[in-house]
């Protein structure tokens, strides 16, 4: 007879003697944890036994520990709550490393709990032992090895606090098997006091006034917005500032959705594959207001030439990010939402009409565009998806060409609607991350978009998705290549294609074998019907493979380390007919804002 779970979160367990494993699950309940992504094993078996009697926490059995960390990331990004992972020692712990590194690069609040061999065996090369604390030290905000059960509750409280405050990020807690079997009195701290960790949230008023003075004297301002705006839930404040100043807005990859692209002030994304006009606007602006962004290399290109004519203001909660890559004139350390509120009161509406007219002209001259015709193109699929959903979806992309096309051609209007792997560029991210988002969000459809390379890296999570009947839409952009690497080989390596063409399975049969509803699209005329059908089906996951043109490139493109002067814009839409005549191909034009 199966063990029945009981709901007992409301019982008062403080002051009672419990094992470390029992204390662990009580701490999660105190933190309001609703979902845990995990995979059991010998070193963590006591904790899994303690989970049996609880209905308060939904434990999701993933099929690989990397999938658990990405699922926790997707859950965190979609909801704003910390994602939680529970794995065993040794390979269970080391399999989380890629996801932890990804969360660290992208400032995602996750807490990873790993089992560990008993304290007395640590360092003895015991079965399934790995120094996960040492391994993850460079890729976590902080990590712990619990050596005394009496410290357990405090450490868990601190772990969640560190993960979710300041610049968010991953925290790992290593749980030795013998410590988790020991008993102590359960008490959970009400607050955390860490002498060496006190994030500054209120921006210094003197610095805010300096920024306001610079902005008030600007003729060609630009707001450069990153994921910090979303982490801070500051979209409303950003919109208010932009509207008051009539200041154009460009976002990073992680900033997408923080400012509605339906707004005429939007310039879409900037950087290596950003819009032509956003990159040029940044080059010619006289004041650049960086909000929750980190001036990463995919945005700046050649640092010396980035926004060379501009005075630079940088608002960020992480003091180490300021002037790390680009020297700024006015640094403001603080929570983006709080700083923007102060700034809005101090800035004055300015006459930016000439500046906005210039940008509008650039938008007309250099819009985002792609070829249309008989061949099925990924850009068309994503553009139609944006039209059909009107941006009302949580879209989770993998890494590669489809990632950039989705950033460009989907219409981003909501914060926390765009989830991707940015800093680490982790292939295999989308499917498990979308799964995590689907556990956290019920208000919007969750769509996973992957390439044929990345999809196979964590395809095993299809089993988890089907098991839980998650109403996800899983769209596969299949060009038979590792597309972005192929593009670089074409443009910069004399078209010497080295190990980028993929042998693929029958993806429809594979999805059906897992138990998903599946279909394949090969022609442009089938796209709209396939998307609408997938969006209407909510009894479980829907898988749609789009067999797109094999060789297509992402444009615009600023080559790595170069400037906007070297930007490759979309080539002229010219084709040569069989008779040798030159024919102009039809182009689909899309302008953001």
Active site (catalytic) residues: 65, 127-128, 177, 484
Task: Tell me the C-alpha distance between 66 and 444, whole Å.
Answer: 25
Task: Tell me the C-alpha distance between 33 and 72, whole Å.
Answer: 12
DSSP, residue by residue, 166-233: SS---EEEEEEHHHHHSEEE----SS---TT-----S--HHHHHHHHHHHHT-SSEEEEE-THHHHTT
- 3-state SS of 92-159 is HHHCCHHHHHHHHHCCCCEEEEEEECCHHHCCCCCCCCCCHHHHHHHHCCEEEECCCHHHHHHHHHHH
Task: Tell me the C-alpha distance between 170 and 85, whole Å.
Answer: 11
In angstroms, how far is the first alpha carbon of the chain from the final one?
Answer: 60
DSSP, residue by residue, 432-491: HHHHHHHHH--SS-EEEEEEHHHHTTSTTHHHHHHHTT---EEEEEE-SB-HHHHHHHHH
* Residue carrying the six token digits 């410290």: 151
Task: Tell me if 95 sits within 8 A of 66, measured CB to CB.
Answer: yes
Task: Tell me if 457 sits within 8 A of 428, measured CB to CB.
Answer: yes
DSSP, residue by residue, 219-284: SSEEEEE-THHHHTT-HHHHHHHHHHHT--EEE-TTTTTSS-TTSTTEEEE-STTS-HHHHHHHHH
Label residue 286 exposed, middle or buried (CB < 10 Å: 0-12, 13-18, 19+).
middle
Beta-bridge partners for 419: 396
Q: Give the Cβ contact number of residue 7 at 10 Å.
A: 10
Task: Tell me if 429 sits within 8 A of 421, measured CB to CB.
Answer: yes
- Residue 60: strand, helix, or coil: strand
Helix axes of 378-389 and 401-409: crossing angle, nearest 10 degrees: 40
Q: Which residues contact 390 (CB under 8 A, 6 or more apart)?
A: 411, 413
- Helices H, strands E: what count in the chain? 23, 24
Task: Tell me the C-alpha distance between 211 and 347, whole Å.
Answer: 9
> What does the block give as tokens for 509?
């049969």
| Phi, psi dihedral angles at 99 (to 5 degrees) | -65, -35
Task: Tell me if 348 sits within 8 A of 442, measured CB to CB.
Answer: no
223: left (phi over 0), alpha (psi -120 to 50) or beta: beta
For 27, half-sphere exposure in the C-beta direction (CA atoms, 13 angstrom radius) is 29
Task: Tell me if 377 sits within 8 A of 246, measured CB to CB.
Answer: no
> What does the block give as tokens for 420?
């991707």
Q: Which residues contact 51 (CB under 8 A, 6 or more apart)?
A: 25, 57, 59
């Amino acid at each position: 007879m199966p063990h029945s779970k009981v709901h007992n979160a409301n019982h008062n367990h403080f002051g009672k003697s419990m094992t470390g494993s029992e204390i662990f699950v009580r701490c999660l309940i105190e933190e309001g944890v609703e979902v845990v992504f995990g995979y059991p094993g010998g070193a963590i078996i006591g904790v899994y036994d303690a989970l049996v009697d609880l209905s308060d926490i939904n434990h999701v059995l993933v099929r690989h520990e990397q999938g658990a960390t990405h699922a926790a990331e997707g859950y965190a990004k979609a909801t704003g709550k910390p994602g939680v992972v529970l794995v065993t020692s040794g390979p269970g712990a080391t399999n989380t490393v890629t996801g932890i590194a990804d969360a660290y690069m992208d400032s995602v609040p996750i807490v990873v709990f790993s089992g560990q061999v008993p304290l007395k065996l640590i360092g003895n090369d015991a079965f399934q032992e790995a120094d996960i604390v040492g391994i993850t030290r460079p890729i976590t905000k902080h990590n712990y090895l619990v050596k005394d059960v009496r410290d357990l509750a405090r450490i868990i409280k601190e772990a969640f606090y560190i993960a979710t405050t300041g610049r968010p990020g991953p925290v790992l807690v290593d749980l030795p098997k013998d410590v988790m079997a020991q008993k102590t009195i359960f008490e959970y701290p009400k607050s955390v006091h860490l002498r060496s960790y006190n994030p500054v949230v209120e921006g210094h008023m003197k610095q805010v006034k300096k920024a306001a003075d610079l902005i008030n004297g600007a003729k060609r301002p630009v707001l450069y917005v990153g994921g910090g705006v979303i982490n801070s839930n500051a979209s409303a404040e950003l919109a208010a500032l932009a509207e008051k100043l009539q200041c154009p807005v460009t976002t990073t990859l992680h900033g997408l959705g923080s400012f509605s692209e339906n707004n005429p002030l939007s310039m879409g994304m900037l950087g290596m594959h950003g819009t032509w006009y956003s990159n040029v606007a940044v080059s010619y602006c006289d004041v650049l207001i960086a909000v929750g962004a980190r001036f990463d290399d995919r945005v700046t290109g050649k640092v010396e030439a980035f926004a060379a004519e501009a005075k630079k203001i940088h608002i960020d909660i992480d003091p180490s990010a300021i002037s790390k890559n680009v020297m700024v004139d006015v640094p403001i350390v603080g929570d983006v939402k709080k700083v923007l509120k102060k700034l809005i009161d101090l800035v004055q509406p300015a006459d930016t009409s000439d500046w906005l007219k210039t940008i509008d002209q650039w938008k007309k001259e250099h819009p985002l565009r792609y070829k249309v015709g008989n061949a099925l193109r990924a850009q068309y699929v994503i553009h139609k998806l944006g039209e059909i959903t009107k941006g009302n979806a949580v879209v989770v992309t993998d890494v590669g060409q489809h990632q950039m096309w989705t950033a460009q051609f989907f219409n981003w209007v909501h914060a926390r609607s765009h989830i991707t792997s940015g800093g680490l560029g982790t292939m295999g991210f989308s499917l498990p991350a979308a799964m995590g988002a689907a556990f956290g969000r019920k208000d919007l459809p969750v769509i996973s978009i992957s390439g044929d390379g990345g999809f196979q890296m964590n395809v095993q999570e299809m089993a988890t998705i089907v098991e839980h009947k998650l109403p996800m839409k899983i769209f596969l952009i299949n060009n038979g290549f590792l597309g972005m690497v192929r593009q670089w080989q074409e443009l910069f390596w004399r078209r010497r294609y080295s190990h980028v063409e993929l042998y693929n399975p029958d993806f429809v049969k594979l999805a059906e074998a897992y138990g998903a509803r599946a279909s394949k699209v090969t022609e442009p005329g089938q796209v709209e019907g396939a998307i609408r059908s997938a969006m209407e089906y909510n009894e479980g996951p829907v898988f749609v493979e789009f067999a797109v043109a094999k060789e297509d490139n992402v444009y615009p493109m600023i080559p790595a380390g170069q400037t906007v002067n070297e930007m490759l814009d979309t080539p002229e839409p010219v084709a040569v007919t069989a008779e040798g005549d030159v024919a102009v191909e039809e182009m689909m034009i899309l302008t953001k804002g």
